Structure 1
Amino acid sequence: MKNTENAHRIVAQNRRARFDYFILEEFEAGIMLVGSEVKSLRSGKASINESHAGEMKGELYLFNANIPEYTQANSFNHEAKRPRKLLLRYREIQKLIGAIQRKGMTIVPLSVYFNTKGLAKVALGLAKGKNVVDKRETIKERDWQRDKSRILRRED
């Protein structure tokens, strides 16, 4: 993992999160995993599309993230959708717990990746839900950006 092209290898991405939510702030968190989960992540088999982060016993956990069982682990395997503890600084945890207790705020995982040291990290977004009108605006903006790039390409 020394070369620069694999420096930030994304394993799973939640593409729907930026469409469904306004991302107000982003955080990088470590994640507590067992050995078979790391092996499964390295093989690129994970899904965070339906997952969310929340508070349990004063700590932040990632709920409903699907990391499938590693077939070669046999009896040492893990549960696919177990809650996984997120590793953040105390001040960040308190800030996020305070934010989700306010109306309409949630913590959405944006991606799971391996950093330059080879550690599994989760990009979290402090988010507020969008309504239908906001989603239409997002679609319009995306379409306009696509059309604009086509027009600029034709002129060159």
Structure 2
Amino acid sequence: MKNLKIEIKWAIIFSLATLAWMLVEKSLGWHDEKIADHASLTNIFAVVAITIYVFALLDKKRNYFKGVMNYKQGFTSGAILSVFVAILSPLTQYIINKFITPDYFNNVIDYSVSAGELNREAAEAYFNIQSYMIQAAVGALLMGLVTTAILAFFLKSKS
């Protein structure tokens, strides 16, 4: 478990950053009066997510691999980080939707129906806690692996 300490630490940091980001989104009105902008503006979090992955892999390189990390080691570390982020994401989604923005689902369902994007049944099927927990876990794993595949290339030690 000691060799996974860095990945666990950064998965927790990632989850806390996600919660903080949701507080920002909520305070900016992206979950209620400005919900029409939410789908595009929430993607700004990608910058935060990538930055966290960069720091996580640099931490692993410096403090575990003593400054010398090859692509496979970097990718493996990032993949493990992605798994831990995916494991934590349902809990993170629960906290977001229970405490930070409990009206989000009602708001986004009403908006998507009134904007003609979905009928009520489809909106309710898509915008709910179970759906978001699954989307968060799968998204964290897939996006984490893609991000890791790219970052490990740039952060590997030069031979």
User: TM-score normalized by structure 2?
Assistant: 0.25
**Bigger proportion of residues as helix:** 2
User: TM-score normalized by structure 1?
Assistant: 0.26
**Bigger proportion of residues as strand:** 1
